[in-house]
Amino acid sequence: MFWAEVEAPLIAQARRPGQFIILSIDSDGSERIPLTIAGVHSERGTIELIWQRVGKTTAELARLQAGDAIANIAGPLGEPTHIERFGTVVCVGGGIGNAPLLPIATALKQVGNRVVSILGARDKSRLILEDRFAEVSDELIVCTDDGSYARKALVTEPLQEVCQRDPKPNQAFVIGPTPMMKFCCQVTRRFDVPTQVSLNTIMVDGTGMCGGCRVEVDGAAKFVCVDGPEFDGHKVNFDLMIKRLNAYKKQEQQAYDQYRQHRCQIGL
Ligand code: FAD
Ligand code: FES
Ligand code: MG
């Protein structure tokens, strides 16, 4: 996991929980990628970005040093999270999904909700932000898929237990890998707990014009960049979304392989 504090005073001033930016590292036509605004320091005019290195652009970003510049950052984009005093909320984060979930859990706590957080990761080394969730949660449940830390379970297991409580949670927020959000929504649907998910589709322009981020919600086409990124998880067609997310896997792998080979050849 990588972290950066980026000087962007206008974005820091306008940003609300749930929103994201789209950046391109160089001005020579480099790829545009969306990242959530994980935190903000208004007094310094900076925003926090937290990312996982999964391919070419996130690897390039990870190579930047303190003091380097990012050519373009557009934001804040997307609709902010609807924050209100629901009562008890359960916040479920998986992997890098904990980063976009943190500002939401923080805002929910600030308006007086009882926050139960469930954090999951494949193994101990991939678990992020546990300490920061501990600060904003009334109850924190941590699990790893392989049992290398805390409870050995998928997040759906503790989520089901929390939903079985009397009273059940009033609202759920789930952010993580798409299959994880799909299965969490199957659990909360059984208990009739309203559930917001934040969708991580492929994005290009971020303005609703290219169609790259199209998803199906309640049978209608929606654009995650302008209509989302959050939607009612019980209405999202996750299977279609997963299919669209995998559409460019071959080209993405090729770009990453070429990038790594190039770096290797110039001895970096
Ligand atoms: P690639 O090898 O090009 O792609 C790896 C995978 O990333 C792809 O299979 C696809 O699923 C996804 N992806 C690729 N290109 C894009 C693109 N242009 N837009 C969106 N997804 C893409 N990741 C984080 O680590 N931290 C965050 O805070 C975060 N916030 C996000 C917020 C939103 C609203 C969205 C839509 C995505 C967010 N992501 C976040 C995912 C992040 O954008 C991708 O991991 C990144 O674009 C991958 O780029 P790459 O070139 O390194 O990898
Ligand atoms: Fe182009 Fe949403 S990113 S329409
Ligand atoms: Mg890429």
Q: What is the pLDDT of residue 259?
A: 79
Distance separating alpha carbons of residues 132 and 142, to the nearest angstrom: 13
Considering the domain architecture, whether residues 197 and 137 belong to the same structural domain is answered as: yes
Asked whether residue 13 is assigned to any structural domain, the reply reads yes
Q: Is any ligand 2 atom within 6 A of the Cβ of residue 1? A: no
Q: Is any ligand 2 atom within 6 A of the Cβ of residue 228? A: no
Considering the domain architecture, whether residues 72 and 172 belong to the same structural domain is answered as: no
Asked whether residue 187 is assigned to any structural domain, the reply reads yes
Considering the domain architecture, whether residues 142 and 31 belong to the same structural domain is answered as: no
Q: Which residue has the tokens 């990761």?
A: 121
Q: What is the pLDDT of residue 267?
A: 55
Our count of domains for the chain comes to 2
Query: Which of 20, 200, 215, 225 for mutating ligand 2's site (highest number of atoms within 8 Å of CB)?
Result: 225
| Contact yes or no for 94/177 (Cβ under 8 A) | yes
Asked whether residue 263 is assigned to any structural domain, the reply reads no
Q: 122: closest CA among 81, 94, 141?
A: 94
Distance between Cα 248 and ligand 2 center (Å): 16
Each residue of 114-151: b (16+ CB within 10 Å) or e? Answer: bbbbbbbbeeeebbbbeebbeebbeebbbbbeeeebbe
Q: Which residues surround ligand 3, an ion (CB under 5 A)?
A: 55-57
What are the beta bridge partners of residue 120?
94, 143
Domain containing 14: what range? 2-77
Considering the domain architecture, whether residues 56 and 121 belong to the same structural domain is answered as: no
| Contact yes or no for 82/109 (Cβ under 8 A) | no
Asked whether residue 82 is assigned to any structural domain, the reply reads no
Q: What is the pLDDT of residue 254?
A: 84
Considering the domain architecture, whether residues 65 and 17 belong to the same structural domain is answered as: yes
Helical residues (DSSP H) of the chain, grouped into ranges: 9-14, 56-62, 98-110, 130-136, 156-164, 178-190, 224-227, 238-245, 249-265
Considering the domain architecture, whether residues 175 and 51 belong to the same structural domain is answered as: no
Each residue's pLDDT expressed in tens, for the chain with a length of 268 residues:
899 999 999 999 999 988 999 999 998 878 999 999 988 999 999 999 999 998 999 999 999 999 999 999 999 999 999 999 999 999 999 999 999 999 999 999 999 999 999 999 999 999 999 999 999 999 999 999 999 999 999 999 999 999 999 999 999 999 999 999 999 999 999 999 999 999 999 999 999 999 999 999 999 999 999 999 999 999 999 999 999 888 778 888 888 888 788 776 655 5
- Which atom of ligand 2 is nearest the CA belonging to 22? 3
Asked whether residue 125 is assigned to any structural domain, the reply reads yes
Closest ligand, as measured to the CA of 34: 1
Q: What is the pLDDT of residue 231?
A: 97
Asked whether residue 138 is assigned to any structural domain, the reply reads yes
Asked whether residue 140 is assigned to any structural domain, the reply reads yes
Considering the domain architecture, whether residues 97 and 213 belong to the same structural domain is answered as: yes
Q: What is the pLDDT of residue 30?
A: 86
Considering the domain architecture, whether residues 110 and 138 belong to the same structural domain is answered as: yes
- Which CATH number covers residue 234? 3.40.50.80
- Which CATH number covers residue 37? 2.40.30.10
Asked whether residue 188 is assigned to any structural domain, the reply reads yes
Considering the domain architecture, whether residues 6 and 130 belong to the same structural domain is answered as: no
| Contact yes or no for 215/222 (Cβ under 8 A) | yes
Considering the domain architecture, whether residues 111 and 221 belong to the same structural domain is answered as: yes
Q: What is the pLDDT of residue 257?
A: 83
Considering the domain architecture, whether residues 37 and 106 belong to the same structural domain is answered as: no
Q: Is 197 helix (H, G, I), strand (E, B) or coil?
A: strand
